[in-house]
Every structure is written in structure tokens, then in C-alpha cells.
Structure 1
Amino acid sequence: MLCAFMNGVVNPPKELHSQASSQSSCNPKTPEETLKDFLASNPDNGFSLTFAGKASLAYAPPQSSHKRLFCSTDDIYCIFLGSLNNLCTLNKQYGLSKGGNEAMFVIEAYRTLRDRGPLPAHRVIKDLEGSFGFVIYDNKAGAVFAALGADKTVNLYWGIAVDGSVMISDNVDLIKESCRKSFAPFPAGCMYHSEGGLISFEHPTYKVKAMPRIDSEGAMCGSYFTVDAYSKVNSMPRVGSAANWATWG
């Protein structure tokens, strides 16, 4: 999977950008070129959706043991990796069909809590049991929401391309093609919203801090992000009529 969000749609942590990118000798590809490469490598079963001036989402069925799903409804799009052990319980809790898959559940949970749910988003994500990672693009709200499970079984990577776009993929080589040194693993046990930023759903009372990351060539890359146990958050964003997943008011 590959997601590209145009400059301004997502405001990533500034530490994701590396000055070494501008000093790299390699000629980076644009997100559009990387997207073409993704589709060319999946000629029979890959497809993409483009939202003019906002985002591009590309998907292909998995070639590994991890399940990969794509789903959309009500102009909300989700790419889901992995599986949820408690999916049946979650579907029953939200009044969804027993036959619904993980991507369908994540969209419905997002839409329900965005519009009328009283719970903070981190509490909902923490209820997900299993190995998972997902990216949601809400075209109506112009919002991006991503999360990665804490068990580190599923991997996601994110980076900043040369044109300022933010890219997310489970394929690190695709990220490197456009982002050069300005990329990092998406932190396990964390979630990101384009308005609320990066927080830990495992430890929501603590801030997430950036740690320097140096590659095998000795160049500074996009930072690792980890929970700072010595720095507490004053308040957590909540979901409801006054503050929801669309605005993180």
C-alpha cells in the first residue's frame, strides 16, 4: 500500500524532515512517479485513487502472511493491514454486521466517533486487540488518521517527499524513493491525526518525543519517535459535538 498526502493536508512532526535529504546524491522521484512504480509492480491487481490536489491512495492485495484490506464508504477511505482478534466483539459493540471486516469496522468507528461519540480517540484505538496498522483518509473533512498496533508485528513507514508531500507505506523502499533521508518507521502504539498530531494511544498521558536516527552511512535521517515517560500531556483531545476526530477541537 502507498498513501501520498499533498503539502498542507498533513502537518507531520518537523523532526521527520532531515537536512541530509538535500545533501543526498540520489535523484528523488516525485510521489506521482513512485505511485506509477507501485502500480507497475502490481499490474494485475493494483489500483489507485487520486483526490485532486489532496491525496493519492494505492492498494494491492498482500503477497505476505499479513492481511491487507481496502474499504470505503461515505467518502471515507481506509487501508488496513493485519487483523483484529476481537473483531466480532467490536462489531457487536458498534451494531455492525458480523460479516464486516477490519477496514469496515475502522471506518465505522471513525465516522461514529467523529460525528457523535463522547470518547477520546486513543481509548477506542486501545480497544483494538491484534496486529494492525491502518490509514484513513476522510475526503469530506480533508483529514488523515493513521495508527499502528503496539506489538510491532505490522510495520508502517512515513516520510516527507521533496515536494513537501507526506507519504505512508508498508514498503520502506517506496518511501525512500521520494523521501530520501526524510523518513522513519511509524511509531508502534501511536496514532496520528492531521489536526491533533502524533500521540501514543498506549500511554496517552505522556508526550511523544523525537530521537535522532542515523543510518549506516552516518547521515542523520528522520527521527525515531518514542514515548517520553518524563513529560506528561496536560489534556487529551476528546471526541464529541464540540471536539471530534475531524477537528480535534
Structure 2
Amino acid sequence: MLGIFHPAVAQAPEELHSPAVPPSPGAFRRQPKNPDEILKDFHSAHPGHSFSASFTGGAVLASVDGHAPRTSFHQRLFCSIDDVYCMFVGSLDNLSALIRQYGLCIKSTNEALLVIEAYRTLRDRGPYPADQVVKDLSGTFAFIVFDSKAGSVFAALSSDGGVPLFWGVAADGSVVICDDLAIVKGSCGKSYAPFPTGTPCINPPD
């Protein structure tokens, strides 16, 4: 999965920015890429098996479809409800219990739909701490939620770090979040790092 968010949508923490240090003579230094180049690289890495959606205001979500050759054993989900989009990689051990907690239909609710419902609870029925939403989730997972109406991004990684997830800064200052290290490393120069585990990041709703 890949999420790219313009600085108007999400601000990268200062420590993620690599200082502009001139390279030594004769040394090659990989330069950050623009969002359109990063998206092109993602599609090139998964030819015929990837799709993307672009949003006004400077947000892009891209994912790999279910027919792609397996790059990992984790399931990949992409869904949306009422202009809230979720990309989810991994699984929840307590999915059934959370479905009952949120009063959802067991047969039709998967992890991505559950996360959207948890996000909407955070957004609409606050105050409800963002970190509590993640603490309620038991399993191995990473997800990105984008609320296209509110312009909010809510992303998190399970505390076990079982799903690889990385983030960085593109040439225009956009935040890049992806589970493919090669994409992030090739897109963000030296301004990238492993995504922090156990805590939601970016800008969950107030």
C-alpha cells in the first residue's frame, strides 16, 4: 500500500526531514522524487496488479489487487464508506469481538471496514483518544485511513511490528507512507524511517 499526502493534508514530523548536506565529491546521492514519480514507480513495481485514487487537495492512495503475486503472506484490503478510505494489511485477532463492540454485521465486516468504523467513532463521538482506538486492536497490522471530506489522515502500525511499514518525505514535502521499503527508499532520498509502532500518526481528527 502507498499513501502520499501533501503538506496541506498532513505534516511530517521535523525529525523525518534529513538535513540538506552537500554530497562529497564524486559521491552519488539519491534525490527525493515528486508524488507523480513515486506513484509511477509503485505501479511499475506491480504491473497489471495495482490501482490508485487521487483526491483534490493533494492525496493519493495506491494498492495492489488480490490477483497480484503474493509479496507477503499478509492479506491486503481496500475499502471506503462515505468518503472515508482505508488500506489495511494484516489481520486482527479480536475482529469478532470488535464487530460486536461496534454493533456491526459479522458476515460483511472485514478489518478495513472495522477500522473505518473505529475512525468514524473517533471523529463523530469524541472526545475519544486516538491511541485508545489502536490499543483496542489486537493483531498484526498496518493501516492508512484517509477522510477525503475532513482532509484527515489516520495511520498506525501494530506494536509487534509484524507488518513492515515506512514513511518519508517527497521532494515537495509530501508525506509518503508505504509497506515497500524499496519504494520509500527510492522516493525520499535520506528522509525516511521505519514507521513508529503502536501509536497513530499524522493528523487524526480533533
TM-score, length-scaled by structure 1: 0.74
Q: CA deviation at 1:184?
A: 0.5
Q: Indicate which of 27, 31, 38 corresponds to 2:35.
A: 31
1:89–1:4: structure 2 CA closer, same or farther, 3 Å change rule?
same
Q: CA RMSD in A?
A: 1.7
Q: CA deviation at 1:101?
A: 0.5
Q: Indicate which of 64, 68, 73 corresponds to 2:76.
A: 68
1 or 2, which has the higher strand percentage? Answer: 1
Counterpart for residue 15 of structure 2: 15
Q: Deviations over 1:18-76 (max 9, x none)?
A: 11576462344322112112112223221000013320110004531011111111101
Q: CA deviation at 1:92?
A: 0.8
Q: Indicate which of 177, 181, 187 corresponds to 2:186.
A: 177
Counterpart for residue 170 of structure 2: 161
Residues 1:78 and 2:82 aligned together:
no
1:165–1:193: structure 2 CA closer, same or farther, 3 Å change rule?
closer
In the alignment, is the contact (CA less than 8 A) between 2:134 and 2:198 conserved in 1?
no
Q: Distance in 2 between matches of 1:49 and 1:86?
A: 30
Q: CA deviation at 1:77?
A: 0.6
Q: Distance in 2 between matches of 1:152 and 1:26?
A: 27
Q: Distance in 2 between matches of 1:174 and 1:22?
A: 23
1:162–1:22: structure 2 CA closer, same or farther, 3 Å change rule?
farther
Structure 1 runs (4+) greater than 3 angstroms displaced: 20-24
| Structure 2 unpaired stretches of 5+ | none
In the alignment, is the contact (CA less than 8 A) between 1:21 and 1:182 conserved in 2?
no
1:21–1:168: structure 2 CA closer, same or farther, 3 Å change rule?
farther
Q: Distance in 2 between matches of 1:10 and 1:165?
A: 8
Higher normalized contact order (CA 8 Å, seq sep 6+, divided by chain length): 2
1:109–1:127: structure 2 CA closer, same or farther, 3 Å change rule?
same
Counterpart for residue 144 of structure 1: 153
Q: CA deviation at 1:131?
A: 0.4
In the alignment, is the contact (CA less than 8 A) between 1:86 and 1:128 conserved in 2?
yes
Report the 3-state secondary structure (helix = DSSP H, G, I; strand = E; otherwise coil) of the residue aligned with 2:73: coil
TM-score, length-scaled by structure 2: 0.89
Aligned residue type for 2:147: D
Q: How many residues align?
A: 197
In the alignment, is the contact (CA less than 8 A) between 1:148 and 1:189 conserved in 2?
yes
Residues 1:56 and 2:64 aligned together:
no
Counterpart for residue 44 of structure 1: 48
1:45–1:13: structure 2 CA closer, same or farther, 3 Å change rule?
same
Q: Deviations over 1:189-239 (max 9, x none)?
A: 121142xxxxxxxxxxxxxxxxxxxxxxxxxxxxxxxxxxxxxxxxxxxxx
In the alignment, is the contact (CA less than 8 A) between 2:29 and 2:189 conserved in 1?
no
Q: CA deviation at 1:118?
A: 4.5
